[in-house]
Amino acid sequence: MTVAVLALQGAFIEHEKILSRLGADVIELRQAEDVKKSYDRLVLPGGESTVQGKLLKELDMYDTLYEQISGGMPVLATCAGMILLASEIEGSDGHHFGTIPMCVRRNAYGRQLGSFHTDAEVSGIGMVPMTFIRAPYVAHTGDGVEVTAQVDGKIVGVRYKNQLAFSFHPELDDDTRIHEAFLKL
């Protein structure tokens, strides 16, 4: 199985290491010709969503990826990746892919001093370590969106069709169960 990891900016190598360890073939998406390659799954990593969103458009990668995601390709999106998938971003008129009907709040826990680590339940997986770095959370969800994780009453994990999105970073902890579940989608 080939997993494509969006490698424009951010912590993409961390995802690649876990996926390789789990036996997947990994390719990096850095420009237009990369997104036309053949792959079965897509990872949208953490980083800065403004940077990633801008580069997706300017490097002519957006349209192909949008078609892949809305066509049902399984996606794992973490932190900035979750923002890329949200149909609504609080305080902003636009969105990026917008393929999950939900509204996200960026930097919802404040600045770096608000970053934290905790353990909480992800449905279907169990207790997992969660690292939140200047993280967003989901302010509200639309029809058909399943909430898969909550911390202190805030939504930090969702599933919509084949798209898994989390506001924390499973790629930064040793627990690989979220990646395993993603590979089984």
Partner 1 sequence: MSKTEERYELNKNLAQMLKGGVIMDVTTPEQAKIAESAGACAVMALERIPADIRAAGGVSRMSDPKMIRGIQEAVSIPVMAKCRIGHFAEAQVLEAIEIDYIDESEVLSPADDVYHINKRDFKVPFVCGAKDLGEALRRINEGASMIRTKGEPGTGDVVQAVRHMRKMNSEIAKLTSMRKDELFEAAKQLQVPYDLVEYVHDNGKLPVVNFAAGGVATPADAALMMQLGAEGVFVGSGIFKSGDPAKRAAAIVKAVTNFTDAKLIAELSTDLGEAMVGINEQEIALLMAERGK
Nearer to partner 1, 116 or 126 (CB): 116
Q: Which two tokens stand for residue 110?
A: 């404040």
Dihedral of the alpha carbons of 16, 12, 86, 38, in degrees to the nearest 10: -50
Residues labelled catalytic: 79, 169, 171
CB of 61 to partner 1, least distance (A): 11
* Contacts with partner 1, residue ranges (CB under 8 A): 7-14, 30-31, 46-48, 50-51, 54-55, 58-59, 79-80, 106-107, 110-113, 115-117, 131, 133-134, 169, 172
Nearer to partner 1, 65 or 172 (CB): 172
C-alpha to C-alpha distance for 64 and 51, rounded to whole angstroms: 18
Nearer to partner 1, 47 or 74 (CB): 47
Q: What is the 3-state secondary structure (H, E, C) of 46-110?
A: CCCHHHHHHHHHHCCCHHHHHHHHHCCCCEEEECHHHHHHEEEECCCCCCCCCCEEEEEECCCCC
Query: Based on the number of CB atoms within 10 Å of its own CB, is 40 exposed (0-12), middle (13-18) or buried (19 or more)?
Result: middle
CB 114, CB 134: distance < 8 Å: yes
Nearer to partner 1, 40 or 173 (CB): 173
CB of 29 to partner 1, least distance (A): 10
C-alpha to C-alpha distance for 137 and 157, rounded to whole angstroms: 8
CB of 12 to partner 1, least distance (A): 7
C-alpha to C-alpha distance for 172 and 161, rounded to whole angstroms: 25
CB of 172 to partner 1, least distance (A): 5
